Amino acid sequence: MKLIEVRTYRLKADSPDLPDGAQRFVAAMREALPLVSASGMDVVAFGRSDHEQTSFFLIRAFGSREQLAAQQDAFYGSPAWREGPREQLVACLDTYLNTLLWLPEAAVDALRCNHQL
């Protein structure tokens, strides 16, 4: 079994001073995802929500709650994140929500195959 974190992001509405929020968000995530993977986190999938143009998801897999906490604390406190794409990415966000659930490894692999990065 794997602990799955599904993080959903809702982007700010585009405005004259911040046009093309989705494009900027995807560009920032494309910069961030290799850093996330390099930190040891298992990135399962990333993409746009099927029901809203301003919503995206990131799915990561962990062996335990302790592993999740340790890896995220290390990554989000790192210079690579704090001095890298963090500001650019956060500037695009209205809100985000994390949901945790346990799934069999076969289900995680199915998610991975159906959402190629």
The whole-number pLDDT of residue 114 equals 76
Which domains are present in the chain? 2-114 (3.30.70.100)
Mean pLDDT, 10 residues at a time, the chain of 117 residues: 97 68 90 95 94 91 98 96 93 95 96 77
Is there a contact between 112 and 58 (Cβ–Cβ < 8 Å)?
Answer: no
> What are the start-end ranges of the E strands in the chain?
2-11, 42-48, 55-62, 93-103
Q: 33-36 contacts: CB < 8 A, separation 24 or more?
A: 33/117, 35/75, 35/80, 35/81, 35/84, 35/85, 36/60, 36/75
The whole-number pLDDT of residue 17 equals 55
